[in-house]
Amino acid sequence: MNTADRASHLAIAAKRFPFLGQTSAEDLRVLVRTELGHERVLDDFVSLGAIGTKAFAPRTILHILSGNTPAAALQSLIRGLLIGSHNRCKIPSMGLPEVAQFQAALPPELAARIEVSRDLPDAWLREADTFIVFGGDETIAHFRARATPRQTFIAHGHALSFGVVFEDADFASVAGAARDVSVFDQQGCLSPHVIYVRGDARRYANRLADEMQRFDAREPRGAISLSESNMIRALRDDLAFRAANDESIALHASQGSTAWTVAYIEKPGFPHSPLNRCVFVKPLPANFVAELSEVRDHLSCAGIWPPTLENARSLAGVGVSRICPLGEMQTPPWSWRQDGQLTLAPLIRWVTAETLEEGTPQSRIAVTLGESPND
């Protein structure tokens, strides 16, 4: 099965998971061409200038997956399958059923390139050519210490996102903002914690609360633990106390539950949401770089409205690696450079063949330089 075949099968399977956004075979082939220079470079030597070049994928990738969003897990797995590697997936103890569901949607040849376990056998650690680790700083440090110098290590750590409304007199962005906050119950790195608004931010918070309620009526939040509910209640109590003491705060919250919370505040700084559909709305500060300085190293995505190039330019240097329209934060394209890095290229080992005689059998070259797991 070559790269084009794998892309076609992966796209068909991905269509069963709407949260992955648009995933066509062409999208995946473009990803290969963009990052690796040629669509067939994983399948055979191709001419890039005067030199023959071939890309070799890792034989085995070990994915350490977190349970916050299934999208990140499937995106990592799809990339590993696209380049032709064998993929071992360590899933959380509470499970990640979407991985098995995706595997079941694949043809046998691709499905056989996936192993899934809630445990982590020592052999998986020893035999991995590449580690891809999702998790907090402690998780990443733990597995980085377990990796050997010969093993490639790629980490996707804790990240924060936000939205910016530069202008929206008609509140056209509030439905999209509510969707970005609510999808995956705000558990992913692309989920906004704060929406900054230039103009009447207090009124925007009121309209956003209406949309959060509508979204919850259509798609209720998933079950959460007692401790998570208590964190939301504690936040609400704190905000109510501060508002009663004349701080500029307006609290909007679901009645009789912790299903959603919108809090307008003016205090400087980047407030951290307890997640599970709790979002802050703040006036856009004059010095946005200073506002974000404490969280700069953990910033991921900024959703903007209106989604113009001028507005994107104004945020390009604040620390985010992705800027997109507000309302589309949860569906990144396959061309997204996660955490500001290429996603396929760091996995690849390159072989170049110089001054080859015309007509040299390509199979002989591949055998001489090392068999590819793609063959």
Q: Per-residue pLDDT tens for 137-172?
A: 899 999 999 999 999 999 998 899 999 999 999 999
Confidence of residue 355 (pLDDT cuts 50, 70, 90): low
Residue 108's alpha-carbon distances to 1, 8, 13, 111, 113, in angstroms, are: 11, 14, 12, 5, 9
β-partners of residue 349 are 56
Residue type, 233: R
pLDDT value of residue 358: 54
Residue 311 pLDDT more than 90?
Answer: yes
Confidence of residue 369 (pLDDT cuts 50, 70, 90): very low
- Helices (H) and strands (E) counted in the chain, each on its own, are 13, 15
Burial class (CB in 10 A: 0-12, 13-18, 19+), 294: exposed
Look over the chain and give the mean of its residue pLDDT values, rounded to a whole number. Answer: 92
Residue 364 pLDDT more than 60?
Answer: no
Q: Which of 331, 22, 15 is nearest to 180 (CA)?
A: 331
Confidence of residue 371 (pLDDT cuts 50, 70, 90): very low
Find out whether 236 and 243 touch, Cβ atoms under 8 Å: no
What distance in Å separates the CA atoms of residue 28 and residue 33, rounded to the nearest whole number?
9
Q: Per residue in 215-255, pLDDT tens?
A: 999 999 999 999 999 999 999 999 999 999 989 999 999 99
Q: Per residue in 94-134, pLDDT tens?
A: 899 999 999 999 999 999 999 999 999 999 999 999 999 99
The share of the chain scoring above pLDDT 90, in percent, equals: 86
What distance in Å separates the CA atoms of residue 232 and residue 267, rounded to the nearest whole number?
19
Find out whether 302 and 318 touch, Cβ atoms under 8 Å: yes
pTM for the predicted model, two decimal places: 0.86
Residue 356 pLDDT more than 60?
Answer: no
313 three-class SS: helix
Confidence of residue 359 (pLDDT cuts 50, 70, 90): low
Report the range of poorest mean pLDDT among 58-72, 78-92, 161-175, 357-371: 357-371
| SS3 letters across 128-186 | CCEEEEECCHHHHHHHHHHCCCCCEEEEECCCEEEEEECCCCCCCCHHHHHHHHHHHHH
pLDDT value of residue 370: 40
Residue 35 pLDDT more than 60?
Answer: yes
Instruction: List the alpha helices (DSSP H) in the chain.
Output: 3-14, 25-36, 70-82, 97-104, 108-111, 122-127, 137-146, 174-182, 201-218, 226-244, 288-291, 309-315, 362-369
What distance in Å separates the CA atoms of residue 22 and residue 331, rounded to the nearest whole number?
8
pLDDT value of residue 368: 36
Domains of the chain: 3-158+348-369 (3.40.605.10), 160-325 (3.40.309.10)
Which residue's structure tokens are 């903007």? 304
Pair of tokens at residue 31: 């990803």
Confidence of residue 43 (pLDDT cuts 50, 70, 90): very high
Does 279 or 67 have the greater pLDDT score? Answer: 279
Residue 200's alpha-carbon distances to 32, 70, 203, 234, 247, in angstroms, are: 44, 36, 6, 27, 17
